[in-house]
Structure 1
Amino acid sequence: MGLQEYARKRRFGDTPEPDDGAVGKTGQRPIFVVQLHHARARHYDFRLEADGVLKSWAVPKGPSLRVGEKRLAVEVEDHPLDYADFAGDIPAGNYGAGHVQIFDHGVWACDGDPLEGLAKGKLDFVLEGEKLRGGWKLIRTAKRASKPQWLLLKRDDAYAADLEADDLLADGAGAPVRAGKKSGRQASPPRPAQPGSAAKASRPRKTKGRVDWKARARSLEGAKPLKGGTEIAPQLATLQAAPPGGDDWLHELKWDGYRLLATIDDGRVRLRSRNGLDWTGEHPVIVDALERLGLDSASLDGELIALDAKGNDSFSTLQHTLKGTARGDLRYVVFDLPTLAGIDLTATRLDERKGLLAELLDTAGTPGALLYSEHVTGHGAEVFAASRTQGMEGIISKAADARYTPGRSHSWLKIKHAQGDEFVVVGFMPPQRSRIGFASLLLATRREGELVYVGRVGTGFDDATLRGLAARLKPMVRKQPTVPLPAHVAFPVGNAVWVKPEIVVEVAFRGWGKEGLLRQASYQRLREDKSADEVGSAAPASARSQNKKEDPKMAAISSPDRVVYPDAGITKQEVADYYTAIADWLLPEVAGRPLSLLRCPDGIAGECFFQKHHAEAFGDSVHAISVRAKDGGKSNYMVVRDVEGLRGLVQMGTLELHPWGARGDDLEHPDRLVFDLDPGDGVAWKAVVAAARDVRDRLEELGMQSFVRLTGGKGIHVVVPIAPGPSWTQAKTFCEGFADAMASSAPERYVATASKALRDGVVFIDWLRNSRGATSVASWSLRARPGAPAAVPLRWSELGRTASGADYPLARALRRASSLGSDPWEGWSDAVEQSLVDWS
């Protein structure tokens, strides 16, 4: 139906409803929402995401949870996806005037294409919401009416109940139960068929009293109080040809799914993929199961799998379920417990962590959404052979005494029956004859920090995959080769279409040829849970700097135990260690440039102040540079050149580093511009993200490439490298004109003046940082704010996955720096020669 009818019925200047250009959600699973609409006739609006919109029905009496009880559902116009978040009052005189409140929301799925089901007039689907769960049907009636009429009814399952929607509105009303049970407490779903013998559902068991999990965790050797949050970077396995022998190894099945990390803070559950995507809202059943553990604090590591009709884990079923075109039973198979009840267990033995994990799940008696990943001690060869008979991909072998170590290690090994690995797509060959999409993908891996071409894959694709991947690759096309090709490739090099190295695919192959290329490669799947930075075995650049903190030549930090960030418990020594570890990323941003520093000698709870003039107290590693002042005199500013200089700044209580936009050897000619996007009150984060993309797109229209970073505060920086030459006056004039033009073209979204009275509800495009002596925070600099957030550079493709400008506190920023294989501002070196456009 599209959104034309939706737009025709509304005056967007008069109603707070989202307009027909709203972008909507960014998750991968299709959503549903039910809204209670107090219009002229009170009713419920039932909406399912399909084909980029919310297919919508008005249900006068609301959904009934009684099996087979039919409720009239009148089909109405499609709504934009952003409508799923709408609640409020539609003013009188507007279409649908009245109060709207969100009754329930979540994700949904059906078997097959939902559009085909709707076209046939019968849709059989499942809901995963807070109030509505389980199987449902929509059936179109033959009754003639001005609007298509459907019947909405509940399927017979564990979530059916002698309730209807209005019963769930009262305060204290719980989730549904089976018909005849009116306690309001949700019944546990039936336990699934077990995927092989190596996993089991946690078993209900009555206990006499509440377990003191903190005491249990603290009793393990190596346990220590947790510093910082519960979010832990995942440990990764190293591929090996055969399982290790001996009884000091534990062997688990290799689950065919997506890595899923769960954190519980103050009783609230957060789920994220291994590359940091927030999946909390997409898996409410798993969130509910984790909440039922009754924990205030914990970190769990496991795999998200889907069970097929036979009770086996199936990656294909998982992918289709996440797309909403299959109804596989999703389960969280948990295999590790890095933290529990405020206790850090990463330094304890794996077998003891797993024992505690098994006890936790066993005692809690959680529903079948959580499974414990069993293991076998020793007998690696036999376990590996048995995994083949069960149809599993292979096994994971783990050292029994292993610590939980973020990143790839040799204490976790993966052994697979078929040889395969993940590779980065760097290009493709155009299709030939009747082939659609592309003929083959060009692949690369990372060796010693550089992408290296490893061959092509042209088999294993069905038509849907060819179309889908081709659509994903099209906007990533670039003119310059992504990787150099060896001279012996057996295809016309000039025909290759290059793309940005962002997509990761898993490929099966039969070994390596003598030229170092894959033999008989076959496409297996798209790995959306992995980033291109994770591919390959090269140590990231920042790993070199991490070792520097152990260098005995490094100057000691005085008062190392002084707490600098009281809310996070971060000490001065930890700040010094952070700047030491990320020095390889930070120094290109600040070395040789005059600096303004934000110093907090007593921590952020004490007095903080800016300082730009050099002082002898900073020591020999912090140097002075003479800078001409406005009155013709000269002042000594501070510069650093190396990691010792960074540590010298920290020694004097420095937290934030703000460099000039020019180098010390050419102070009168800036080489970068910064647009600081500062949201006013009431501006949603997604509007700030949209503003950053808008700035990027306007700059591209002028032929200028830009880069993005989170500020560690409320906003976003768009940074533009330029060739030195223009004066500060010219740079400032350009930036002012650019910001004014954007504000004039969209005054409802932007303002280009610093007046706070004009900034409510809009984004201030701050261009004032581009004058002589002005500064902006450096990439990777900490901020003197609660939580110790850092200003982190991103790829543009990562921006949409952020939640705020302070999305990377110290620990997460450090993990990002240690896992990056390439600069997120890739292409900066190519853009430094771009000229400042004559703005007039």
Structure 2
Amino acid sequence: MSLRDYARKRRLGTTPEPSGGDAGPGTRPVYVVQLHHASTRHYDFRLEIDGVLKSWAVPKGPSLRAGEKRLAVEVEDHPLDYATFEGDIPRGHYGAGHVEVFDRGHWACDGDPLALHAKGKLEFTLSGGKLSGGWSLVRTRMRGRQRQWLLIKRDDAHAADLEADDLVDRDGRRKSRGRAAESDAAATGRIHRTSGAEPKPGVRRARHTRKKNEAGWRDRALALKGALDGAMPIGFDPALTILQDAPPAGDRWLHELKWDGYRLLVDLVDGGARLRSRNGLDWTGTFPEIAAAVESLPVGDACLDGELVVLDADGHSDFSELQRVIEGSSRAPLRYLLFDLPGLAGVDLRKVALTDRKALLKDLLGDGTGALAYSEHVIGHGAQVFEQTARAGIEGLVSKRVGSAYRSGRSGDWVKSKHARSDEFVIVGYTRPKGSRSGFGSLLLASRHDGGLAYMGRVGTGFGSDDLKRILERLRKIRARDAPFDLPGHVRIPRADITWVRPREVAEVAFRGHGKEGLLRQASFLRMRPDKTPEEVGNDRDTAKRTATDRKPERATSTHEPETTVKLTHPDRVMFADAAHTKQDVADYYRSVADWLLPELVGRPLSLLRCPDGSQSECFFQKHHSDGLGDHVHPVPLQQKSGGREDYLYVDAIEGVIELVQMNTIEFHPWGATVEAPERPDRMVFDLDPGEGVAWKTMIAAARDVRDRLAWIDLESFVRLSGGKGLHVVVPIAPGPSWDEVRRFCEGFAVAMATQAPDRYLASMAKAKRKGRIFIDWLRNARGATSVASWSLRARPGAPVAMPLRWDELGRIRAPDAYDLTRARRRAASLGSDPWQGISTLRQSLPDL
């Protein structure tokens, strides 16, 4: 259905119903339940999906009893602004009768809601006034003029022996049930409280229960040196950081993890919380669960500063998952990690020492098991902590002077140090897409300089298909007729290819430094930053400390690689059904990791795993060249056992990789030799393949054992997650030995290990002997045999990646398929150096066993 059906059934303009205008600046998907006194009294249940309210008429209304099924008849889609509609539809009009909002709030599911709706089964969570917790909508096979579903409450803590009619008065009006009375004030993402709103009735009652405790917290706050009575800093501006290369040394500094989320400021006044972004957006209605958690604190007045995040299983912040929560495609819990307390119980604490503010904040939060948590810190040891965060894959540190006051803006008391080379830039334009790419080709970026904007280059990689669509929609709304500046004369972008936009949007981009003329090198898109304003861009680095190579906008010229023009046919073909990754996603992935992938592929004969219908269907290996593979896929004639020669294939640039992706290639398996010296191998691979019952920690120990035994014979090695079940130990050697010599060495090494530890290892492929032991597969070192390349995707569920590691990283990895496409892209963007640093220059002689 579509809004065309909505408009067709109504005489818009003569009925008070909305016509489908702008519903406001919200983000998280909303739901609304409206009680409709039409010819037949019923409830209308609506979920925001794909820009409209998917709608169902529920005759008896939702039941809060776990497992009880209620008929829900799907009706026409409604516009988003219908979520706030209340009023009387006049007699003679479609749906005539009184409409009022019964409940509203946010909803979320795991996955693409549009796809789940199409499949006929939606499992979701509601966060509202009356309806909360888990619910299901399941399409039935019952025949009728309209599609019929069942609305079912899941069995959880929010289930109750109630139904919708129990929550309305006898005259049909709303009836309060605990926090349900707040549903009008707890607005959706498009209906925000104002800072001067009266506290909600439920909150007023809670306020009286706090009064005994309030005095105690007030006394503690006033006892701190520097505290000011009666001057709560409501609406305070945030303290901001200055970027530097490393954390400061000494015990005068404390160091917190740099959380990867959205900065969130909170004013709690008379028991009512107002949430603000760092640039002043009201987020109270967007994150009602955080507002409710703040309102449950044992005080009625406070000013709080922290970061809104989603944490993964390791306790690391996951920005991508946070975005999915906001989009409604994930039900992961939000956490508000608090690191400062500018005010408490009517007392201004901004001039109190930071460590005293944090100590009081920690006590205020208690055990931190809910949506609120305390951001811990370490005093001193900045270099060691910074190194540990690098090993743990954490973005970096925020370091603060231990005795500092809370100063809004940038003062030098707060500095950040990041492992990834990334920064925020203002988007000033975009180029038209080429080939089969949709959306746009690249974004033109700028930064603040000398009071204006300076061109910094462009970014054309790192975008998923959803990114291209979503960003283009935002940029089309702010198109500009004129450029904000003149591009340097030697930036060779055809002016006809550029669409300029007003400098309103900010993007975060990873890059590998600046070129000699000051533009970004090897830029890769990370994310949009709606929490930052263009005026902030370029102001978080101490400009007095910039080096001459950091940025020279007045001499700017393009150092960007030409955009790949390889045309993808069927870019929407699903290559990983369980992860919903398309051919376009695969191509974008390989573009984004090209700097790390290409050294493993370029100039080596390749075997390809091609999957014409995706990894979920039949795949096949190909090693011979054919003309249809693409102009950047080259033949190399190699000798055959029969005496003849046949053309194998290789690539020398990312264009060749993308052409092979166009041919539905997922995996790349290079030879352990180059096309220039195909008979002289320069790599050996020991593939550790676990039998049934072998634990992952045993695999890690085995890889280290192989490394140590190789070291005994003066061979340095490198480790890789296979992306399958095992690990690869890779040994570079100086070209010289023949394939037969390399194969005999690898066989002898594997047999020696199996002989010395037969209970752990075997050097035979016999599956009957594999249980509980690890097969040291040395057969990949024969002529024509291959191993998967580092950074190659694997045609397996979940889109795993064969990931090279430093040896000191291995112990922190939980599985051989720990990196999927998304995590691998994130790792590629954040790596400061190659985990296999030096492998291409290491020359080792093959010993005689």
The reply to whether TM is greater than 0.5 is yes
**Per-residue displacement from partner, 1:138-188 (whole Å, max 9, x unpaired)?**
001101122211101122333233332233346552259xxxxxxxxxxxx
- Label 1:513 to 1:149 Cα distance change in 2 as closer, same or farther (>3 A): same
**Per-residue displacement from partner, 1:58-78 (whole Å, max 9, x unpaired)?**
112222222222111111222
Partner in structure 2 of residue 394 of structure 1: 396
Once the two structures are TM-superposed, the CA of residue 274 in structure 1 deviates from its matched residue by 1.1
1:458 to 460, 466, 474: 460
Is residue 2:359 matched to residue 1:360?
Answer: no
**Per-residue displacement from partner, 1:622-644 (whole Å, max 9, x unpaired)?**
xxxxxxxxxxxxxxxxxxxxxxx
Asked if the contact 1:426–1:443 (Cα under 8 Å) also holds between the matched residues in 2, the reply is yes
- Label 1:385 to 1:158 Cα distance change in 2 as closer, same or farther (>3 A): farther
Partner in structure 2 of residue 251 of structure 1: 255
1:330 to 319, 328, 334: 334
What aligned pairs does 1:402-417 form with structure 2 within 5 A after superposition? 402-417=404-419
Once the two structures are TM-superposed, the CA of residue 494 in structure 1 deviates from its matched residue by 6.3
What aligned pairs does 1:308-707 form with structure 2 within 5 A after superposition? 308=312, 312-362=316-366, 368-489=370-491, 491-492=493-494, 495-537=497-539
Is residue 2:103 matched to residue 1:104?
Answer: yes
What aligned pairs does 1:22-421 form with structure 2 within 5 A after superposition? 22-169=21-168, 171=175, 173-174=177-178, 210-212=213-215, 213-227=217-231, 230-308=234-312, 312-362=316-366, 368-421=370-423
Residues in 1 aligned to 2:160 and 2:531: alpha-carbon distance in whole angstroms: 37
Counterpart residue type for residue 227 of structure 2: A
Residues in 2 aligned to 1:308 and 1:138: alpha-carbon distance in whole angstroms: 28
- Label 1:514 to 1:79 Cα distance change in 2 as closer, same or farther (>3 A): same
Asked if the contact 1:230–1:297 (Cα under 8 Å) also holds between the matched residues in 2, the reply is no
Residues in 2 aligned to 1:493 and 1:93: alpha-carbon distance in whole angstroms: 56
Residues in 2 aligned to 1:88 and 1:309: alpha-carbon distance in whole angstroms: 47
- Label 1:87 to 1:473 Cα distance change in 2 as closer, same or farther (>3 A): closer
Pairs aligned (count): 508
Residues in 1 aligned to 2:392 and 2:349: alpha-carbon distance in whole angstroms: 33
Residues in 2 aligned to 1:351 and 1:216: alpha-carbon distance in whole angstroms: 14
- Label 1:169 to 1:215 Cα distance change in 2 as closer, same or farther (>3 A): farther
Q: Secondary structure at the match of 2:341?
A: strand
Q: What is the percent sequence identity of the aligned residues?
A: 58
Q: TM-score, normalised by structure 1?
A: 0.57
Asked if the contact 2:213–2:299 (Cα under 8 Å) also holds between the matched residues in 1, the reply is no
Once the two structures are TM-superposed, the CA of residue 207 in structure 1 deviates from its matched residue by 12
Once the two structures are TM-superposed, the CA of residue 391 in structure 1 deviates from its matched residue by 2.4
- Label 1:502 to 1:172 Cα distance change in 2 as closer, same or farther (>3 A): closer
Residues in 1 aligned to 2:12 and 2:219: alpha-carbon distance in whole angstroms: 57
Counterpart residue type for residue 272 of structure 2: R
Q: Secondary structure at the match of 1:478?
A: coil
Note the residue ranges of structure 1 that are not aligned, 5 or more in a row: 177-205, 541-840
Asked if the contact 1:237–1:413 (Cα under 8 Å) also holds between the matched residues in 2, the reply is yes
Q: Secondary structure at the match of 1:281?
A: coil
Asked if the contact 1:293–1:366 (Cα under 8 Å) also holds between the matched residues in 2, the reply is no
Note the residue ranges of structure 2 that are not aligned, 5 or more in a row: 170-174, 181-208, 543-849
Q: Secondary structure at the match of 1:383?
A: helix
**Per-residue displacement from partner, 1:209-256 (whole Å, max 9, x unpaired)?**
624222222222111135476111111111111111111211111111
Once the two structures are TM-superposed, the CA of residue 308 in structure 1 deviates from its matched residue by 4.1
Once the two structures are TM-superposed, the CA of residue 488 in structure 1 deviates from its matched residue by 4.1
**Per-residue displacement from partner, 1:530-573 (whole Å, max 9, x unpaired)?**
11011012999xxxxxxxxxxxxxxxxxxxxxxxxxxxxxxxxx
Once the two structures are TM-superposed, the CA of residue 357 in structure 1 deviates from its matched residue by 0.8
Residues in 1 aligned to 2:509 and 2:113: alpha-carbon distance in whole angstroms: 30
Residues in 1 aligned to 2:430 and 2:20: alpha-carbon distance in whole angstroms: 33
Asked if the contact 2:233–2:303 (Cα under 8 Å) also holds between the matched residues in 1, the reply is no
- Label 1:160 to 1:387 Cα distance change in 2 as closer, same or farther (>3 A): farther
Asked if the contact 2:232–2:346 (Cα under 8 Å) also holds between the matched residues in 1, the reply is no
Q: Secondary structure at the match of 1:446?
A: strand
Partner in structure 2 of residue 7 of structure 1: 7
Residues in 2 aligned to 1:208 and 1:528: alpha-carbon distance in whole angstroms: 38
Asked if the contact 1:289–1:366 (Cα under 8 Å) also holds between the matched residues in 2, the reply is no
Asked if the contact 2:136–2:153 (Cα under 8 Å) also holds between the matched residues in 1, the reply is yes
Asked if the contact 2:253–2:379 (Cα under 8 Å) also holds between the matched residues in 1, the reply is yes
Q: Secondary structure at the match of 2:213?
A: coil
Once the two structures are TM-superposed, the CA of residue 30 in structure 1 deviates from its matched residue by 1.1
Residues in 2 aligned to 1:80 and 1:438: alpha-carbon distance in whole angstroms: 28
Q: TM-score, normalised by structure 2?
A: 0.57
Partner in structure 1 of residue 736 of structure 2: none
Asked if the contact 1:43–1:58 (Cα under 8 Å) also holds between the matched residues in 2, the reply is yes
Q: Secondary structure at the match of 2:320?
A: helix
Once the two structures are TM-superposed, the CA of residue 424 in structure 1 deviates from its matched residue by 0.8
- Label 1:226 to 1:412 Cα distance change in 2 as closer, same or farther (>3 A): farther
Counterpart residue type for residue 250 of structure 1: L
- Higher CA-based Rg: 2
Residues in 1 aligned to 2:230 and 2:410: alpha-carbon distance in whole angstroms: 22
Residues in 1 aligned to 2:132 and 2:509: alpha-carbon distance in whole angstroms: 37
Residues in 1 aligned to 2:383 and 2:339: alpha-carbon distance in whole angstroms: 21
Asked if the contact 2:284–2:291 (Cα under 8 Å) also holds between the matched residues in 1, the reply is yes
Once the two structures are TM-superposed, the CA of residue 7 in structure 1 deviates from its matched residue by 3.0
Residues in 2 aligned to 1:239 and 1:158: alpha-carbon distance in whole angstroms: 45
Residues in 2 aligned to 1:304 and 1:335: alpha-carbon distance in whole angstroms: 11
Asked if the contact 1:168–1:174 (Cα under 8 Å) also holds between the matched residues in 2, the reply is no
Once the two structures are TM-superposed, the CA of residue 294 in structure 1 deviates from its matched residue by 4.4
Residues in 1 aligned to 2:97 and 2:298: alpha-carbon distance in whole angstroms: 39
Once the two structures are TM-superposed, the CA of residue 451 in structure 1 deviates from its matched residue by 1.0
Asked if the contact 1:448–1:538 (Cα under 8 Å) also holds between the matched residues in 2, the reply is no
**Per-residue displacement from partner, 1:57-100 (whole Å, max 9, x unpaired)?**
11122222222221111112222222211223334444333332
Asked if the contact 1:292–1:366 (Cα under 8 Å) also holds between the matched residues in 2, the reply is no
**Per-residue displacement from partner, 1:402-451 (whole Å, max 9, x unpaired)?**
11111123111111111111111122333223333333222111122121
Residues in 1 aligned to 2:315 and 2:160: alpha-carbon distance in whole angstroms: 26
Q: Root-mean-square deviation (CA), in Å?
A: 2.6
Counterpart residue type for residue 59 of structure 1: V
Asked if the contact 1:225–1:343 (Cα under 8 Å) also holds between the matched residues in 2, the reply is yes
Residues in 2 aligned to 1:146 and 1:50: alpha-carbon distance in whole angstroms: 22
Asked if the contact 2:135–2:153 (Cα under 8 Å) also holds between the matched residues in 1, the reply is yes
Asked if the contact 1:35–1:104 (Cα under 8 Å) also holds between the matched residues in 2, the reply is yes
- Label 1:311 to 1:400 Cα distance change in 2 as closer, same or farther (>3 A): closer
**Per-residue displacement from partner, 1:274-327 (whole Å, max 9, x unpaired)?**
111111111111111111114332211111112346654211111121111222
Residues in 2 aligned to 1:338 and 1:430: alpha-carbon distance in whole angstroms: 47
Residues in 1 aligned to 2:459 and 2:140: alpha-carbon distance in whole angstroms: 49
Asked if the contact 1:426–1:483 (Cα under 8 Å) also holds between the matched residues in 2, the reply is no
Residues in 2 aligned to 1:160 and 1:530: alpha-carbon distance in whole angstroms: 40
Residues in 1 aligned to 2:297 and 2:345: alpha-carbon distance in whole angstroms: 12
Residues in 2 aligned to 1:454 and 1:161: alpha-carbon distance in whole angstroms: 58
Residues in 1 aligned to 2:475 and 2:98: alpha-carbon distance in whole angstroms: 43
Counterpart residue type for residue 213 of structure 2: R
Q: Secondary structure at the match of 2:518?
A: coil
Asked if the contact 2:232–2:348 (Cα under 8 Å) also holds between the matched residues in 1, the reply is no
**Per-residue displacement from partner, 1:748-791 (whole Å, max 9, x unpaired)?**
xxxxxxxxxxxxxxxxxxxxxxxxxxxxxxxxxxxxxxxxxxxx
Asked if the contact 1:25–1:81 (Cα under 8 Å) also holds between the matched residues in 2, the reply is no
Counterpart residue type for residue 3 of structure 1: L
Asked if the contact 1:256–1:314 (Cα under 8 Å) also holds between the matched residues in 2, the reply is yes
Partner in structure 2 of residue 16 of structure 1: 16
Once the two structures are TM-superposed, the CA of residue 39 in structure 1 deviates from its matched residue by 3.0
Asked if the contact 1:262–1:271 (Cα under 8 Å) also holds between the matched residues in 2, the reply is yes
